[in-house]
Amino acid sequence: MLALTEMLRRKVQFSLVMAVVALIAYLVLMVTGLGLGLQEKAGTALLNLDGDYLAYADRSNLSVIRSRLTDAQVADIAAAPGVEAATPIGYVAAVVEYGDDETATAALIGVDPGSFAEPRPIDGGPLTGPDQVLIDRSWASLGGTEVGDSIALPVGFATREFMVVGIVDQGSFFFQPAIYLDRSAWQDVSYQGAADQTPAASIVVLRGSGLDGARGEGWVAVTKQTGFDNIEGVAAQQSTVNALRYMGLLIGAMVIGVFFYVLTIQKVALLGILKAIGASGWFLAGQSLLQVFIISVAGAGIAVGLALLTEATVLASDAVPIAFTPGAMLSTAVAVAVSGVLGAALSIRQVTSIDPIVAMQPQ
């Protein structure tokens, strides 16, 4: 094959452009990973809730922070048509004391023990009392906290000791690792001192069907994904990351396009001779496309390898919020390959429009 032989015999030229494509694809992959990582930190704990819909106070603008529901509202939500199961949860960010006088912030999530909002522990056991907590894996690795240790949460102006009974794998909420505790304890931490005004919950997790947009006495229900998308900052963050991704793909397409354009211009005389001795424009265009395709796919493949290597080494610690999923890697690699081929479309036109008469011009 003409195209493959050319690549093999002009290794330097073609490997250089392959390296450039690989680096661009790597950049796009890292940005994609950053987007996923940020998303994870922003609210996997919410997405991992074992329900379909979330009900918010209707004036909260779908903000978990601002949403407050009364006992009556929680009961009203649970009784709404289409609801199969409902369980309230509370959220508050708090400074947690642990270990040897160290502190860190965490997302405290109050649940009813035994309800479907309580995550299953991967280590230890479930909540059985109001002075127990389940901590997320990421918190455990942060402070070296283990099952059986105790941590202190602020209640009023003092602190109260809680026993770690289990470790869960739910991720973070608002960029902080999640800690699960009894809803009454959550009320104490959040609203100590105003007993008659204490909200029952922040939001209610629902199972059921057709509840998107359902409304009742001072509440509104949306899908879990909508709730997630409305977490403060998530939409802006994702659009920033996406803009970076598309920019990277565009640059990749342009680099491949310009490279092949220059390469084609350099070969006009040769392509003219090939046409003059009977090669059709489509045959030559096909050969060029094959080269672009190989370079794009190989470049994207190298980038995936680099990304996996980065993940295994540099990102092994949790310091940088980059996460890769096989799907994201595959779609990014495909996007790079596709944009490379699109970028080369210009050269393809150039190839098909060369007049074979150039073969007769003195060289």
Number of residues that bind other proteins (CB under 8 A): 24
Q: Rounded to the nearest whole angstrom, what is the least distance from the CB of residue 336 to other proteins in the complex? A: 27
Instruction: Report, in Å, the least distance between residue 241 CB and other proteins.
Output: 43
Rounded Cα gap, residues 44 and 22, in angstroms: 31
Q: Among 65, 251, 328, 359, indicate the residue that binds other proteins (CB under 8 A).
A: 359
Residue 344 phi/psi, 5-degree rounding, is -85, -5
Q: Binding pattern to other proteins, positions 106-145, x when CB under 8 A?
A: ----------------------------------------
Contact 89/107 with Cβ under 8 angstroms?
no
- The nearer residue to other proteins, 6 or 131, going by C-beta atoms, is 6
Of 240-279, binders to other proteins (CB under 8 A) are 269-270, 273-279
Residues counted in the chain: 363
What residues pair up with 54 in beta bridges, in sequence order?
205, 222
Helix (H) or strand (E) holding 9: helix 2-9
How far apart are CB 275 and other proteins at their closest, in Å? 7
- The 10 Å CB-count burial string (b at 16+, else e) for 168-192 is bebbbbbebbbbbbbbebbbbbbbe
Q: How far is the CB of 288 from other proteins (least distance, A)?
A: 14
In the bound state with other proteins, the residue whose beta carbon lies nearer, of 2 and 147, is 2
Tokens of 339: 């944009």
| Amino acid at position 141, single letter | S
- The identity of residue 221, as a single letter, is A
Structure tokens at 347: 């050269």
Q: How many CB atoms lie within 10 A of CB 213?
A: 11
290 binds other proteins (CB under 8 A): no
Q: Quick check: 135 and 179 in contact, CB under 8 A?
A: yes
Work out how close the CB of 274 gets to other proteins at its nearest, in angstroms, rounded to a whole number: 7
Other CB atoms within a 10 A radius of the CB of residue 62 amount to 20
What is the nearest approach in angstroms of other proteins to the Cβ of residue 10? 6
Q: Which of residues 6-35 bind other proteins (CB under 8 A)?
A: 6, 9-10
Choices 1-9, 61-69, 120-128, 327-335; region in contact with other proteins by CB under 8 A? 1-9
148/362 with CB nearer other proteins: 362
Give the footprint of other proteins on this chain (CB under 8 A): 1-2, 5-6, 9-10, 269-270, 273-281, 283, 356-357, 359-360, 362-363
